[in-house]
Amino acid sequence: MISVRASVALTAYVATIPAANMLVTHVGAVPVGFGYAAPAGVYMVGLALVLRDLAREAAGRAAILAAIATGAVLSWLLATPELAIASTAAFALSETLDYAVYEPLRRRGLLVAMAASNAVGLLADSVVFLWLAFGSLAFLPGQLVGKAWMTAAAITVIFAWRARRPEATA
């Protein structure tokens, strides 16, 4: 049986996938800082990278793969086929690379593994998504900045939460 913590993490992660696609579809580009812009889903995907690691901790890798599939189905229902394909391919590649980096580093601590794997994941996700969705990497700098902001913010919140609650494991 899946724990409440795992259910919450998986649900939040799955929700970020179609939410990101909906933002791209309905909002367009947003500023991310340093004069760059990115498709509006950038912040949601940055959050997804962190939620993926938290969900993996709580539910395991098989659950993450099922979550990506669920997010893909929801994206097909809520976004254009081009965005759904680009998103699914990007999340699948990002998860594979994330896993390759995250698992070996996990014994050094959650935050170390999360920061390193997200750095790799955000680059791979950005390149694949932008190329498949738009046929261009023009938004790549903005994608990297926006996802890095969200990853840094989420890791800061997790660090602060863990510092307040030393017994916490997430």
Give the number of domains in the chain.
Answer: 1
pTM value > 0.75 = yes
Residue 145 near residue 38 (C-beta atoms within 8 A) = yes
Give the pLDDT confidence of 102-111 residue by residue, as tens digits: 999 999 988 8
Nearest residue to 102 (alpha-carbon basis) of 119, 125, 87: 119
Q: Which CATH number fits the domain that encloses residue 127?
A: 1.10.1760
The pLDDT score that the predictor gives to residue 167 is 63
CA distance 159 to 153: 10
Give the pLDDT confidence of 81-140 residue by residue, as tens digits: 999 999 999 988 988 898 899 999 999 988 899 899 989 989 999 999 999 999 999 999
Percent of the chain with pLDDT over 70: 97
Tell me, yes or no, whether 121 lies in a domain: yes
- What residue numbers bound the domain in which 65 lies? 4-164
Residue 57: what residue type?
E
